[in-house]
A and B are shown apart, each in its own frame.
Chain A
Amino acid sequence: MTQKMASVQWHSRYRNYAAELQCCRLEAIGLETGEYHPLKPITVTESKTKKVGRKGSTSSTSSSSSSSVLDPLSSVLDGTDPLSMFAATAEPLTTVANMDNGRKKREREEISAVGSDFEPWPSKRSAILARYTTTEKLSINLFMGSEKGKATSPVSAVSEKVRTRLEELDDLEEGSQKELLNLTQQDYINRIEELNQSLKDAWASDQKVKALKIVIQCSKLLSDTTVIQFYPSKFVLITDILDTFGKLVYERILTMCVDNRGSLPDNFNPDDASDTAKETCLNWFFKIASIRELIPRFYVEAAILKCNKFLSKTGISECLPRLTSMIRGIGDPLVAVYARTYLCRVGIEVAPHLKENLNKNFFDFLLTFKQIHGDMVQNQLVAQKVEIPLYLTLYSPAIDWILQCIAYRAPEVLLTEMMERCRKLGNNALLLNSVMSAFRAEFIAARSMEFIGMIKECDESGFPKHLLFRSLGINLALADPPENDRLQILNEAWKVITKLKSPQDYINCAEKWVEYTCRHFTKREVNTVLADVIKHMTPDRAFEEAYPQLQSIIGKVIDHFHDFSVLFSVEKFLPFLDMFQKESVRVEVCKCILEAFIKHQQELTKDPVILNALLHVCKTMHDSVNALTLEDEKRMLAGLINGFIRMVSFGRDFEQQLSFYVEARSMFCNLEPVLVQLIHSVNQLAMETRKVMKGNHSRKTAAFVRACVAFCFITIPSLTSIFSRLNLYLHSGQVALANQCLSQADAFFKAAVSLVPEVPKTISVDGKMRSSETFLLEFLSNLFSTLLIVPDHPEQGVLFLVRGLLNVIEDYTWEDNNDDKIRIYTSVLHLLSAMSQETFLYHVAKVDSNDSLYGGDSKFLTEINKLCETLIGQILDHLKTLGKDETLKRQSQLALSLFHSTLAHGDLRNNKLNQLAVNLWNLAQKHGFADTKTLVKTLEYIKKQSSQSEMQHFSELAQRLPLQSRT
């Protein structure tokens, strides 16, 4: 080994790049889109391959020109590969398994006859809970058994003391009266939830009577209308319990049937039910029929309505009308209307085909409508200090639901009839509102003028008018009114809306109408509407309370105006944005606007209106970034701003474009990705200029390009990511070079070189710490290939940059356990070989590289060779250190790689070099770590090369290279 350590003089091989290229081309073989594919079944008979003809004109890239044929991979596969075939066969299996389910589901749907277009109760449920709240104290009074004495006083006075079992049902626990007072709303909800749980527990522990008692006590709470504003929510909570109960009873009885004979189909016949099941079912109904109080009796029976299916086919259809008329006995109109709601709810779930009952409920409600304004109600409201308009809104969820059930897939005639009926009642605002929320939007929209007329006639003191207009607005957002009425509708409606005093009422109403305005009118009307909103919301900073609505308004406007020049020419749009004064909301809105812009803007733009507005928007977003902003948030903001920057183009006005970038840089200095984007954009601008000038810069363009370069040069240092900086330096240097800004390019490269020592050992990639060396290796290789064409600075020494970089590499602390440094040295060897050619492999137009500067000057070559010598020395030293057992494999690989380099770049006619190659060859094989296949291929290559005239010495070399057979 030691003799190899003697310094080896490097002699670069002469390369005729043109000839080599030519030679390679001749060898080029067209890509065969083979018929063979490992995954393809052999039985394919149809051959769909077309051989691509060889193309002599282009080199290896020709393979890609075979695009006339289908993508080879996909064409070969063609969906018949085993994997997809398996997937295809697997599907039937799952469908078989799912079929049962699917069928059941279908059946269920047929039975229920209520499609997905029916807004189900659960979605209403949460809305009601959110809307009807109270801060007043509530109470739960369970067990009213003690009241029995006075309730039954008249005749029972005849004989007392005997209490039948039936009457005991009223007690929850013998003799205990639980009255929970002073509950907050949340406490109340928790209590009810507890009751729900204890119901389930009681049921699970087979205490059916206790379960029934709980349910009775709970439904009793529904007759209590103290804290009336909470009543709708109370209804929701308690009917949850009833639903649970109904389900428990039904399932219990169902299992009784199952015990006997398999499982019952969903749509079973009463005859299929076992006697025990029927008896149990009857027992429940008898028990419930003996509940003393009307309201619990009604609710509990309604809850187990479905169980009628076990008794007779017509059970449900007989029960519903009876329960409907039973509600007539409920005196309090609010309690009654919610009872109707529950009945409709259960009815439509259990027997959706029974529609008459729904109608009857509604008509009954209309008959009792006058009660709402009766003395009883008035007294109650006075006592509770509740205003009439608020009271009336308590009815809305109930009437909405009933009407929704009625209107579902109902014929037009019925809807018209319902409307007429509502109309006949005086002060029908409440009904009108429910009609609007429950009926089909198309139906309402077609009669918009009529509705406006009706709304106007309504009594001022009753149901809040703004709610009516709001409902109408919602309908008009969904369906279009007749063409001719549109403007008039808007005028009429807005006339009323604009007069609303309370900003909250106003904005709730206006929010819904913006959609309609945007859909059917031009920016002029939208502008007016926005102006009106601003006018209403600005006094007393009312907008602070209405951000969600304002946001939704902006969202709707953006949805409808895809042309941003029109959007921003809506005068009041930006003033409208100014109302978003809370930063988080403002940023949200800005994001929406930019997202819409990026999504909808088709062409690049230089419209000053758009630019100004969007710059303002972007600036807002950017300014929201602070030390606490999350990385994700930053990335998102930067992405949006970048999207905007990319959409800006001033066409041929490059200077304007540059000044835009300069402005953008000053605005978005805190978002690194934006700066990176700007540097790329400016580089692109420089290259565009070059393209326009066809490579010949005039004085003016040269100056401009230098300005671009300067922009990059001063922007890059402000970045923190070291690899962004390195790559941008390199990239910008290349751009500068392409634009003949030699000294600037030099500066870029120098900056890059001096930055290399700062590269940290590890960098964070996707949140994980990774070694930076692979990135560094990649960058350095890239940099070196660029350095080939960078001409030497006249005032600096020969190969100043290469030397500088080599020094940096030498000083850099590399990791011990790999050979990255040596790999770089090897690539530098390649570079130096390329540099010693008479003409370089590639050039940049209009830049004289070292080949023409030195013209193959011998001094220059000596200089190169000296460098090479040092490098080889270093490499060999390193090889020597790898002589230990555990590193022998690396040694072998490295030796072979150096051998390849010598073979490719070295002039092996030189004896010493030749000897070095042979030694390397032997070293590679010495410890049996070499890959024989590679060795054989290498030998073949050498032999093949030797056939060429100037490579004859290779044949001799080949003989000197023994191939050790592996043991």
Chain B
Amino acid sequence: MGTSLDIKIKRANKVYHEGEILSGVVVVMSKDAIHHNGISLTMEGAVNLQLSAKSVGMFEAFYNSVKPIQIISNMVEMVKPGKLPTGKIEIPFEFPLLSKGNKVLYETYHGVFVNIQYTLRCDMRRPLLAKDLTKTCEFIVHSLPQKEKLTPSPVDFTVTPETLQNVKERATLPKFLIRGHLNSTSCIITQPLTGELLVESADVAVKSIELQLVRVETCGCAEGYARDATEIQNIQIAEGDVCRGLPIPIYMVFPRLFTCPTLQTTNFKIEFEVNVVVMLQDDHLITENFPLKLSRV
């Protein structure tokens, strides 16, 4: 490759907010002088929806019509057709991040059935015999701080064989008493989920205690919808038979890109839940589910 194209975004973390100016440079490196038919830069943002295999049969017709929802699109011609000299050339650019009309710049989110992604694409069109050059680069959009005040909503929970639902043979269950609390179920996305868990007693040894972060994605509209829950990550907070009566910290950092503030639109919804999973030595699984509300401040 004699010629290379690269996009460098000014901010190291590539994070921008609505109303800010996205700036950077396009770097062209070449050993020889190059002819081209123009270099353009495109900024795009879109929501991609996809239906899970399970739902396909039922909503096939609908599914086919699910098109990416464009949030933002912008293109500039950076360089007019002509010739570029040898060496490293940096072409600076600036895009104002402004949404058009009533569209909202949703926060970047990488999910399974919903993806919100923003990209910069640089194209160098070249005359015959030479392939056009393209380079894409993702940048990240964080939504603006939410207006409404966040009220902490702590939850206390107690798990015993009696509190469990969905049990087949309650009689074979070993006795246990697990108590705990989450400091808040409405979380600031940049702050970890915190709380405590205490195994007061358990007849059978504990094998592992895990926090499972789950995304719940809903796609659809008036005609119907598909709701799917998938695991984002699983964090073990206890391994082995923990000491009875000693509070174990619940602590989980929300992963970047894979989480975003809880989002509800007409076409799709992104929600999060956490499962506290206690595994016993005899392979009994005890799960306690907590819906979360994530927000950015």
Q: Which residues of A contact B (CB under 8 A)?
A: 151-156, 158-159, 162, 164, 166-167, 223, 274-276, 278-279, 282, 285-286, 289-290, 292-295, 297, 322, 325-326, 328-332, 335, 364, 367-368, 370-371, 374-376
B228 close to A (CB within 8 Å): yes
Q: Is the Cβ of B246 less than 8 Å from the Cβ of A278? A: no
| C-alpha gap A393/B247 in the complex (Å) | 28
Set of chain A residues within 8 Å of B251, measured between Cβ atoms = 322, 326
Chain B residue with minimal CB distance to A278?
Answer: B12
Q: Is the CB of A155 within 8 A of B229?
A: yes
Residue contact B13 to A332, C-beta cutoff 8 Å: no
Contact across chains for B212 and A152 when beta carbons are under 8 A apart: yes
**Residue from the list A155, A286, A331 in contact with B214, Cβ < 8 A:** A155
- 23 A-B Cβ contacts within 8 A? A151-B210, A154-B287, A155-B287, A159-B52, A159-B230, A275-B13, A279-B12, A286-B255, A289-B253, A290-B255, A292-B234, A292-B235, A292-B236, A293-B239, A297-B235, A297-B236, A322-B251, A325-B249, A328-B238, A335-B240, A368-B246, A376-B205, A376-B240
If A156-B230, A159-B228, A368-B246 touch, whether A329 touches B13 (CB-CB below 8 Å) is no
Whether, in the assembled complex, B294 has its beta carbon less than 8 Å from a beta carbon of chain A, the answer is: no
Least CB distance, A222 to chain B, in whole angstroms: 11
**With A and B bound together, what is the CA distance between A367 and B277 in angstroms?**
24
Cβ 8 A contact of B233, one of A159, A166, A275, A322: A166
The answer for the CA separation of A328 and B199 in the assembled complex, in Å, is 11
How close is A198's CB to chain B, nearest CB, in angstroms?
26
Q: Is B285 an interface residue (CB 8 A)?
A: yes
By secondary structure, the B interface counts as strand
Query: A159 CA to B227 CA in the complex, in Å?
Result: 11
Residues of B within 8 A of A285 (CB): 253
Identify which of residues 240-287 in chain B touch chain A, using a CB-to-CB cut-off of 8 Å: 240-243, 246-249, 251-253, 255-256, 258, 275, 277, 285, 287
List the 10 closest A-B pairs by CB distance, nearest first.
A331-B240, A329-B238, A289-B253, A275-B12, A294-B236, A159-B230, A331-B241, A368-B243, A279-B12, A325-B249
Q: How far is the CB of A361 from chain B (nearest CB, A)?
A: 14
> A275 — which chain B residues lie within 8 A by C-beta?
11-13
Q: In whole angstroms, how far apart are the Cα atoms of A223 and B240 in the complex?
A: 9
> In the complex the two chains form, what is the Cα distance from A294 to B236 in whole Å?
5
Taking a contact as CB atoms closer than 8 A, the residue among B228, B234, B238, B258 that contacts A331 in the complex is B238
**In the complex, what distance in Å separates the CA atom of A326 from the CA atom of B241?**
14
In the bound complex, CA of A374 to CA of B247 (Å)? 18
Q: Which residues of A contact B255 (CB under 8 A)?
A: 166, 286, 289-290
Judge whether B112 is part of the interface by a CB distance below 8 angstroms.
Answer: yes
Most interface-central of B12, B13, B52, B210 (chain A CB within 10 A): B12
* Cα separation A151 to B208 with both chains bound (whole Å): 9
Tell me if B231 is interfacial: C-beta within 8 Å of chain A: yes
Residues of B within 8 A of A364 (CB): 246
**Contact (Cβ within 8 A) A329 B248:** yes
Which residue of chain A is the closest to B245 with respect to CB atoms? Answer: A367
A328-B249, A329-B209 given; A158·B234 CB < 8 A:
no
CB of A155 within 8 A of CB of B212, answer yes
Which chain B positions have C-beta within 8 A of A290?
A: 233, 235, 253, 255
Contact A158 B243 (CB under 8 A): no
* Cross-chain contact B235 with A328 (CB below 8 angstroms): no
**Residue B84, interface by CB 8 Å:** no
The minimal Cβ–Cβ distance linking A935 to chain B, given in whole angstroms, is 87
Residues in A whose Cβ lies below 8 Å from that of B205: 331, 375-376
Point out the residues of chain B lying under 8 angstroms from A292, CB to CB.
Answer: 233-236
Q: CB distance B228 to A158 under 8 Å?
A: yes
Q: Which residue of A lies closest to B229 (CB)?
A: A158
Known: A159-B231, A329-B238. 10 other contacts (CB 8 A): A152-B212, A154-B212, A154-B287, A223-B240, A279-B13, A292-B233, A293-B236, A297-B236, A329-B248, A331-B241
Q: How far is the CA of A285 from the CA of B190 in the complex (A)?
A: 13
Within 8 A of A (CB), among B201-238: 205-206, 208-210, 212, 214, 228-238
Q: Which residue of A lies closest to B236 (CB)?
A: A294
Asked if B232 and A294 make an inter-chain contact with CB atoms under 8 angstroms apart, the answer reads: no
| Distance A329 CA – B251 CA, assembled complex (angstroms) | 11
Which residues of chain A are near B208, meaning CB under 8 Å?
151
Are A162 and B112 closer than 8 Å at their CB atoms?
Answer: yes
Closest to A280 in B: B12
Interface size class of B (residues with CB under 8 A): 35 or more
Bound CA–CA A482/B43 (angstroms):
82
Q: Which residues of A sit under 8 angstroms from B12, Cβ to Cβ?
A: 274-276, 278-279
Q: How far does the Cβ of B14 sit from chain A's closest Cβ, in whole Å?
A: 9
Residues of B within 8 A of A158 (CB): 228-230
Q: How far is the CA of A164 from the CA of B287 in the complex (A)?
A: 23
Closest B residue to A153 by beta carbon equals B285
- The reply to whether A152 and B234 form a contact with Cβ atoms under 8 Å apart is yes
- A502 to B8, alpha carbons, bound, how many Å? 73
B246 to chain A, nearest CB (A): 6
Query: Which residues of B sit under 8 angstroms from A278, Cβ to Cβ?
Result: 12
Chain B residues with Cβ below 8 Å from A328 are: 238, 242-243, 246-249
Chain B residues, CB < 8 A from A367 = 243, 246
Q: Which of B214, B243, B253, B287 has the most CB of A within 10 A?
A: B243
Query: Which residues of the other chain, B, contact A282 by a CB distance below 8 angstroms?
Result: 13
User: In the complex, what residue of chain B is closest to A296 when comparing beta carbons?
Assistant: B236
B35 to chain A, nearest CB (A): 35
Interface residue from A295, A322, A329, A375 paired with B242 (Cβ < 8 Å): A329
Kindly provide the distance from the CB of B244 to the nearest chain A CB, expressed in whole angstroms. Answer: 9
Q: Are B230 and A330 closer than 8 Å at their CB atoms?
A: no
* Cα–Cα, bound, A154→B231 (Å): 10
Residue of A nearest to B285 (CB): A154
Write the chain A residue with the least CB distance to B232: A164
**A276 neighbours in B (Cβ, 8 Å):** 12
Among A152, A159, A293, the residue within 8 A (CB) of B229 is: A159
Among residues of A, the one whose C-beta sits closest to the C-beta of B249 is A325
Contact A162 B233 (CB under 8 A): no
**A223 to B12, alpha carbons, bound, how many Å?**
37
- Specify which chain A residues have a CB less than 8 angstroms from the CB of B212 in the assembled complex: 152, 154-155
> Chain A residue with minimal CB distance to B289?
A155
Q: Mark B91-114, 1 if CB is under 8 A from A, else 0.
A: 000000000000000000000100
Q: Which residue of B lies closest to A285 (CB)?
A: B253
| A158 to B212 alpha-carbon distance, docked (Å) | 13
Residues in B with CB closer than 8 Å to A293 are 236, 239
- With A and B bound together, what is the CA distance between A235 and B212 in angstroms? 29
Nearest CB to that of B233 among chain A residues?
A290
Q: How far is A286 from B236 in the complex, measured between Cα atoms in Å?
A: 15
B225 to chain A, nearest CB (A): 16
Evaluate contact between A164 and B275: CB separation under 8 angstroms. no
Inter-chain contact B112/A159, CB cutoff 8 Å: yes
CA distance A456 to B81 in the complex (A): 94
Complexed CA–CA distance, A850 and B44 (Å)? 128
Which residues of A have CB within 8 Å of B252? 289
Q: With A322-B251, A326-B249, A367-B243 as known contacts, state yes or no: A156 contacts B13, CB within 8 Å.
A: no
> Which has the most chain A C-beta neighbours within 10 Å: B205, B231, B248?
B231
Interface centre among B11, B210, B228 (most CB of A within 10 A): B210
A331 touching B285, Cβ below 8 Å: no
- Which of A167, A274, A330, A375 interacts with B238 by CB under 8 Å? A330
Q: Are B249 and A329 in contact (CB under 8 A)?
A: yes
Shortest Cβ distance from residue B148 to the other chain A in the assembled complex, whole angstroms: 28
Q: How far is the CA of A331 from the CA of B242 in the complex (A)?
A: 4
For the complex, give the distance between the alpha carbons of A155 and B237 in Å: 17
Q: Which residues from chain B contact A286 at a C-beta distance below 8 Å?
A: 253, 255-256
CB of A294 within 8 A of CB of B249, answer: no
The smallest beta-carbon distance between B243 and chain A, in angstroms, is: 4
A279 to B231, CA, bound (A): 26
Smallest CB separation, A582 vs chain B (Å):
48
CA distance A368 to B247 in the complex (A): 11
Instruction: Give Cα A279 to B12, complex, Å.
Output: 7
Determine whether the beta carbon of A332 is less than 8 Å from that of B240. yes
CA distance A164 to B112 in the complex (A): 9
Q: Which residues in A have their C-beta under 8 angstroms from that of B236?
A: 292-294, 297, 329
Asked if B249 and A322 make an inter-chain contact with CB atoms under 8 angstroms apart, the answer reads yes
